[in-house]
Amino acid sequence: MARDTYDFFDMHSHGFVRIATATPRTRTADVAYNVQGIIEQAQAAHERHVDLLLYPEMCLSSYALDDLHMQAALIEAVEAGIETIRAASEGLTPVLVIGAPLRRNGRVYNCALVIAQGEVLGAVPKSYLPNYREFYEKRWFARGNNCQDLWAVVNGAEVPFGTDLIFAATNLPGFTFGIEICEDYWSPIQPGTMAALAGATILLNLSASPITIGKSDERHLLCRASSTRNICAYAYSASGFGESTTDLSWDGQGMVYELGDLMVESVRFELEPELCLADIDTRRVLNERMRMGTFNDAAEDAGRPEDSFRTIAFEHGHCAGDIGLERAIRRFPFVPNRLEKLHEDCYEAFNIQVDALMRRMQAAAVKSLVIGISGGLDSTHALIVAAKACDMLGLPRSTIRAYTMPGFATSDGTKSNAWKLMEAFEVTAEEIDIKPAARQMLEDINHRFAAKDRKGGEPVHDVTFENVQAGLRTDYLFRLANHHQGLVIGTGDLSELALGWCTYGVGDQMSHYAVNAGVPKTLIQHLIRWTTRTDQFSAECDAALEEVLATEISPELVPADEAGNIQSTESIIGPYELNDFFLHHVLRWGQQPSHVAFLCWHAWKQADAGLWPHNFPEAKKNQYDLATIRGWLEKFLLRFVQFSQFKRSALPNGPKVSAGGALSPRGDWRAPSDAVADVWLAELREKVPEGD
């Protein structure tokens, strides 16, 4: 899209394409009736600003016709119907992909025809013709698998014909699609794979597919696998009500997948026509291909299909402006929305951490685990992972040596939480007051706080004041580990590492094993809550954990002000729910700031819209306007790209947990410590408005 036509609120500016599957009204062998059904759905899709509309296989003639497929009268009626649909497509937004029998050189092919803006752009024949059980397609149709570099005459006009076609919008980069038909994706070698390797970001499957028990699940399996393996979006449309039920039945299933994620699914067994819509992120597809060298190796091994495929270019007449976003966006991309998936993911995440820690305990042959307990989320989660590891290894929980180390700003609430946790989990618990040692260090380095503290003046709460406390805690833990032949368990999480919200070296950035380093803050809350809901520990433990969950996130390094307001992490670095959203889309998908902002705005602009994770507290269902999102994203980019990499470059060992990525320099993320964020900040400031 040209820069002078850029509109932040237009989804097309961010590489989105609106796809729909259609289940039109159909009547067996009634071509005129079917033509009207196809046009009605095209008009309905136009009203909903659809870019690409997929119909079922042979929808123009209907599929279950048996020997009627060979009747000249039917074939001629189909050709006339194509002309009617072509004429009706003028002025309509959607590119139509319809199924029809097509004659060429004395043969009949089962084809997909692509029609846009009053033009038949091309025809793709079916490669694999089923001829087993209830299917007899080879009786009527010719195979199209070897049809390349050919043309066919359709109503007097020559159009590209073959399995070597992909279709690309010249004015919407990323809007490129390929086609396969029904049985093609049941074959061991899918024709659609070659189209994807040639550059198609979207694969379409026109299907008839009579329904039997369990077949819907099989289709889902194939669609999901195809979209994952081919790194693409995959749309599927099956025949519905109106096909012949002489021996078979039809459910009209439509679905759209993107990189293995189900975006939308139609209602099955509907009597009325139906459109099933989803907005596809082609930039996400292209970014993933850029990352995955295996995809590009496969293209080379397949003989570089991009060199032999014909790209049929067209200018797409899309609807510009703000047309919304027909796409479910997870506010918490590291946390599933569905209850059953939440349980499954929490189970896996928790046990990944437990398993990793058990292996390190065995390898290091330690006699204890040393951990600092603040009463906050991160140290609490590290404690429950350590407790489960000891349980699994048959070790007493007294193996865990837990220390709470109150400083100048430790509140009674968090200190109480820490003791309740340690006592409930029956670990070896001790308290070390770091204030005397901190005062001594501050005095030794001539810090103004020490002098002010002695004279009763106003304290100076700068970075040095904060890090003296953080450093002392870590120093104590390492010396205690030496003393008790132990392993210091790190408590810092993925979100803090992304933002650099940790004290480098002799501070909470360092440990012997960083068990939380792969877990974002938003997921940690759900993991703790999951352990209480699934009876991982005793009722006393659950009660202590619930109190931690109710506590505001704070480093507690600066004392409360005169009004009693405590130091708030999120007021300084931004809400973790936004930072984790930013992190996921930057780290996992490499999206540019304007794209991240667009997604974030649609995800968070209305608290009463979209899905929330199961049992998410009503009082914490926030919403954010674009100005707020832009402001916090700018701070995130500055911290993530320019400020904090040196801390990640010296990261201790710890397990990767989420498919969203990790920040270990030995794993998902490798970056220079002296990079500047100018490119990212400039893109954000240029392309993201300051308000809604």
Q: Is residue 79 over pLDDT 60? A: yes
At residue 451, the pLDDT reads 74
Pairing of strands 52-54, 16-23: parallel
| 600 in catalytic set | no
What is the spatial distance between Cα 124 and Cα 598, in angstroms, rounded to a whole number? 36
Q: Give the chain's radius of gyration (CA, Å).
A: 30
Give the tens place of pLDDT for each residue, 642-673.
Answer: 999 999 999 999 999 998 899 999 999 999 99
Give the tens place of pLDDT for each residue, 667-690.
Answer: 999 999 999 999 999 999 999 999
| Cα separations in angstroms, 330 against 13, 473, 578, 611, 615 | 21, 37, 12, 7, 15
pLDDT-based confidence at residue 525 (cuts at 50, 70, 90)? confident
Half-sphere exposure of residue 581, counting CA atoms within 13 Å on the CB side?
A: 25
Q: Is residue 526 over pLDDT 80? A: yes
Which run of H or E residues covers position 343?
helix 339-364
CB of 548 closer than 8 Å to CB of 375:
yes
| Helical ranges in 150-279 per DSSP H | 191-197, 215-229
CB of 112 closer than 8 Å to CB of 58:
no
Q: Is residue 611 over pLDDT 90? A: no
What is the assigned CATH class of domain 3-314?
alpha beta
Other Cβ atoms less than 10 A from the Cβ of 449: the count is 21
Angle among Cα 399, 401, 403 to the nearest 5 degrees reads 165
Helix axes of 576-583 and 593-604: crossing angle, nearest 10 degrees: 130
Q: Decide: residue 570, CB within 10 A, 0-12 exposed, 13-18 middle, 19+ buried.
A: middle
User: Per mean pLDDT, which range of 111-125, 172-186, 219-233, 541-555 is the poorest?
Assistant: 541-555
Written as six digits, the tokens of 304 are 């570089």
Contacting residues for 379 by C-beta, under 8 A, at least 6 apart: 371, 372, 373, 418, 491
What is the spatial distance between Cα 661 and Cα 537, in angstroms, rounded to a whole number? 29
Written as six digits, the tokens of 206 are 């026109």
At residue 2, the pLDDT reads 41
Closest of 50, 77, 147, 80 to residue 107, by C-alpha: 147
What is the spatial distance between Cα 381 and Cα 350, in angstroms, rounded to a whole number? 9
Looking at residue 692, its amino acid is D
CB of 618 closer than 8 Å to CB of 481:
no
Written as six digits, the tokens of 515 are 């068990």
| Pairwise pLDDT comparison (370 vs 67), residue with the higher score | 370
CB of 368 closer than 8 Å to CB of 526:
no
User: Which pTM value belongs to this model?
Assistant: 0.93
For residue 518, give the DSSP letter: T
pLDDT-based confidence at residue 452 (cuts at 50, 70, 90)? low
Report the pLDDT averaged over residues 509-530. 94
Other Cβ atoms less than 10 A from the Cβ of 681: the count is 17
Looking at residue 647, its amino acid is K
Which run of H or E residues covers position 111?
strand 107-116
| Pairwise pLDDT comparison (244 vs 306), residue with the higher score | 306
CB of 353 closer than 8 Å to CB of 657:
yes
Helix axes of 293-301 and 282-291: crossing angle, nearest 10 degrees: 80
* % of residues, the chain, pLDDT over 90: 82
Q: Is residue 456 over pLDDT 60? A: no
| 182 in catalytic set | yes
Q: Is residue 573 over pLDDT 70? A: yes
What is the spatial distance between Cα 172 and Cα 168, in angstroms, rounded to a whole number? 8
> 397-407 as b/e, with b when 16 or more CB fall inside 10 Å?
bebbbbbbbbb
Contacting residues for 341 by C-beta, under 8 A, at least 6 apart: none
Which sequence spans correspond to the domains of the chain?
3-314, 339-687
Residue 114: phi and psi, rounded to 5, are -105, 120
Looking at residue 158, its amino acid is E
pLDDT-based confidence at residue 334 (cuts at 50, 70, 90)? very high
Give the tens place of pLDDT for each residue, 178-222.
Answer: 999 999 999 999 999 999 999 999 999 999 998 999 999 999 999
Please tell me if the domain spanning 3-314 has the same topology as the one spanning 339-687: no
Written as six digits, the tokens of 510 are 């360092």
Closest of 581, 601, 592, 603 to residue 686, by C-alpha: 592
What is the spatial distance between Cα 449 and Cα 456, in angstroms, rounded to a whole number? 10
At residue 486, the pLDDT reads 97
Q: Decide: residue 635, CB within 10 A, 0-12 exposed, 13-18 middle, 19+ buried.
A: middle
**Which residue is listed with tokens 């590290």?**
382
Report the pLDDT averaged over residues 621-629. 97
Give the tens place of pLDDT for each residue, 42-58.
Answer: 999 999 999 999 999 99
What is the chain's mean pLDDT, rounded? 93
| 276 in catalytic set | no
For residue 101, give the DSSP letter: E
Which run of H or E residues covers position 442?
helix 435-444
What is the spatial distance between Cα 210 and Cα 648, in angstroms, rounded to a whole number? 54
Closest of 68, 71, 70, 157 to residue 113, by C-alpha: 157
Q: Is residue 1 over pLDDT 50? A: no
At residue 457, the pLDDT reads 47
CATH number of 339-687, picked from 2.60.120.620, 3.40.470.10, 3.40.640.10, 3.40.50.620: 3.40.50.620
- Residue 383, helix vs strand vs coil: helix
Sign of torsion over alpha carbons 140, 144, 150, 152: positive
Report the pLDDT averaged over residues 11-31. 97
What is the spatial distance between Cα 369 and Cα 470, in angstroms, rounded to a whole number? 19
pLDDT-based confidence at residue 563 (cuts at 50, 70, 90)? low
* % of residues, the chain, pLDDT over 70: 96
CB of 601 closer than 8 Å to CB of 9:
no
| Helical ranges in 245-304 per DSSP H | 282-291, 293-301
| Cα separations in angstroms, 617 against 521, 526, 546, 549 | 16, 11, 13, 11
Helix axes of 435-444 and 463-483: crossing angle, nearest 10 degrees: 120
CB of 28 closer than 8 Å to CB of 63:
no
- Which is catalytic among the residues 59, 111, 147, 182? 182
pLDDT-based confidence at residue 562 (cuts at 50, 70, 90)? low
Which run of H or E residues covers position 415?
helix 412-424
What is the spatial distance between Cα 144 and Cα 123, in angstroms, rounded to a whole number? 11
Report the pLDDT averaged over residues 340-369. 94
| Cα separations in angstroms, 685 against 118, 539, 627, 671, 690 | 40, 51, 11, 23, 8
- Which is catalytic among the residues 59, 79, 111, 126? 126
- Residue 235, helix vs strand vs coil: strand
